[in-house]
Structure 1
């Protein structure tokens, strides 16, 4: 199972997402039926290494937030920049 380390983020919205992207981080969200949505950020370099693995979007991912909480998730949607290789946002669905 793939393991990704993330940080919980407090501020949400367009300006905070731009600020995260300038710091080479990807804004993301975890949602599901029985939880309140959790807003997180992931390091761009770490996620690009995971992205190069075979079928990373179909496998379950162990998402470790601040070394406290672990979620088993699947990638629901990945938003990319139209012509750059940069990721803009990731949606994770709780398993």
Structure 2
């Protein structure tokens, strides 16, 4: 099982997302099962290297947010049109 560390983000919007990407981070969202969506920020290089493996998309992942573990699956990934960059990831809660 892959472990992805994330931080909760308070700010939203295009300008904040651009600032994150300059810092080699990118935004994401965790949602599903009638829970309130959680806006998160992740390290780009860590996730980019993990997503090169096929199992990243097939298996459940462990999302670590503030010492709390969430079992999730990748729902959608938004990538830059021509740069090797991830722009955004949506995660959904996974049933075990």
Q: What TM-score, normalized to structure 2?
A: 0.92
Segments of structure 2 that go 5 or more residues without pairing to the other structure are none
Per-residue CA deviation, residues 33-89 of structure 1 (Å, 9 max, x unaligned), is 2210000011011101211223211110000013x2211000000000001110100
Q: What TM-score, normalized to structure 1?
A: 0.93
Matched, 1:73 2:51: no
The CA RMSD measured in Å over matched residues stands at 1.0
Count residues with an aligned counterpart. 94
Q: 2:49 matched to which residue of 1?
A: 49
Measure the CA separation in 1 of the matches of 2:26 and 2:70. 18
